[in-house]
Structure 1
Amino acid sequence: MNRPLIPLKAGAIVFTLLWTAWMMWWSGSFSSANVVILAFCGTAVGYLWYRAMRWQFERMGMLPGPEDQAK
């Protein structure tokens, strides 16, 4: 695992958990189907957030780009 990405990955996990918890609270339904669907959606949203933030941080020069990581 690349050391500069650890805080970004931890932030994505926290974002995923908070987003999923918020959506469960907002929906008001705690049925098993709703929990499974929201957990799946939360995982997808967290992954997309991670990819977007990684792209943006690489663009801003705050993270090494893919070509720099291979060296």
Structure 2
Amino acid sequence: MTEDPANYRTPRLPADIARCPGVGAEDPELPGGIAWREGCERCLRRLASIDSEHTEIMTPPAILTFSCEWEIPSP
């Protein structure tokens, strides 16, 4: 991910859509330092801010077959 933080807008989702921390591993070779699991890098559940104390945090799926069934791809 090579985005310029000065031009980056935090995505927004309604408070009733659960957020997810994603699954990643540290990798100093990559920009940003994290190797995200397929789909996690651009998923809105991970990227969107938490604007309410009532927003739930979900646990990422333990196993993916082809893709995450809960992924909300960013535009």
TM-score (norm 1): 0.24
Greater fraction strand: 2
Greater fraction helix: 1
TM-score (norm 2): 0.23
